[in-house]
Amino acid sequence: AKAAYIIREPIAAAIGADIPIGSASGHMIVDMGGGTSEIAVISLGGIVANTSVRIGGNKYDTAIGEYIKKKYNLAIGERTAEDIKIKIGSAQFLPKEEKLFMDIKGRDMITGLPRTINVSSDDVTEALQNELQGLISAVKSVLYQTPPELSADIMDKGMVLSGGTSLLRNMDKLLAQATGVPAYVADDSLLCVARGTGIALENLESYKRSILSAK
Ligand SMILES: Nc1ncnc2c1ncn2[C@@H]1O[C@H](COP(=O)(O)OP(=O)(O)OP(=O)(O)O)[C@@H](O)[C@H]1O
Ligand SMILES: [Mg+2]
């Protein structure tokens, strides 16, 4: 019979981000996906402190849609909202010369007819304020739970961001400024969990402390 294993998402993300999770020092990973954000501090192959919040890219898209509805009286679809987020979205307000703009189409809420408007990166930053504040609080709550020795390690090495939502412009800067801990987006951050799961499966013996086996 085939054996089954369970690997927790932050552990997989950390392995996929090339974090040496087995070492005694503390590592922080913030995996931000579509549905949830999982924040964990890992040491000696295990999770020392963590939280998971239902804040992710899908909620960002909804928030953008609601903001545009309110401000411009324009209804847009979810795909359009995601498109705006990816093309011009920023977690922090961009400097004047760097602001981004985009024409989008939707349905006018008053006339019911199609209409095109021009939205800016500031619109997105504004729309995401609640979600971003929630994310910052969650990251801080994990830092508060972290034992002092490991906090010092995390301060030295910074937190590593993975998952698709970590690709939002300036997400690293926002988290670094809000917490005082440096933040870096992992290489190929969208693929960290899949890559980490693969590496763990191929090296079961070395990762056995970090994986649960399910019967
Ligand atoms: N360049 C980008 N900028 C901002 N967001 C992005 C970018 N690319 C992808 N995303 C968002 O990343 C999210 C998907 O990320 P990911 O694939 O890590 O999620 P998931 O693992 O499927 O979700 P979960 O971990 O919550 O189960 C989507 O909301 C998508 O809009
Ligand atoms: Mg994920």
CATH number for the domain spanning 14: value is: 3.30.420.40
User: Which residue has a Cα nearest atom 24 of ligand 1?
Assistant: 33
Bridge partners (DSSP) listed for residue 160: 29, 184
What pLDDT score does 5 carry? Answer: 87
> Using a 6 Å cutoff on CB, does residue 33 contact ligand 1?
yes
Separation of CA 35 and ligand 2 centre (Å): 8
What pLDDT score does 151 carry? Answer: 96
Residue 153 to residue 168: CA distance in whole angstroms: 26
Q: Look at residues 88, 122, 156 and tell me which one is the last residue of a structural domain.
A: 122
Separation of CA 15 and ligand 2 centre (Å): 14
pLDDT band at 215 (very low <50, low <70, confident <90, very high): low
> Using a 6 Å cutoff on CB, does residue 163 contact ligand 1?
yes
> Cα 76 to chain center, whole Å?
24
pLDDT tens profile 1-58: 678 889 999 999 999 999 999 999 999 999 999 999 999 999 999 999 999 999 999 9
Mean of pLDDT over the chain? 96
pLDDT tens profile 107-126: 999 999 999 999 999 999 99
Same domain for 75 and 144, yes or no, is: no
Separation of CA 34 and ligand 1 centre (Å): 5
Residue 23, C-beta contacts closer than 8 angstroms, at least 6 positions apart: 43, 44
Residue 104 to residue 54: CA distance in whole angstroms: 28
Separation of CA 64 and ligand 2 centre (Å): 21
Q: Look at residues 107, 122, 137 and tell me which one is the last residue of a structural domain.
A: 122
pLDDT band at 208 (very low <50, low <70, confident <90, very high): confident
Same domain for 22 and 71, yes or no, is: no
pLDDT tens profile 116-174: 999 999 999 999 999 999 999 999 999 999 999 999 999 999 999 999 999 999 999 99
Please give the residue range of the domain that contains residue 79. Answer: 57-122
What pLDDT score does 108 carry? Answer: 98
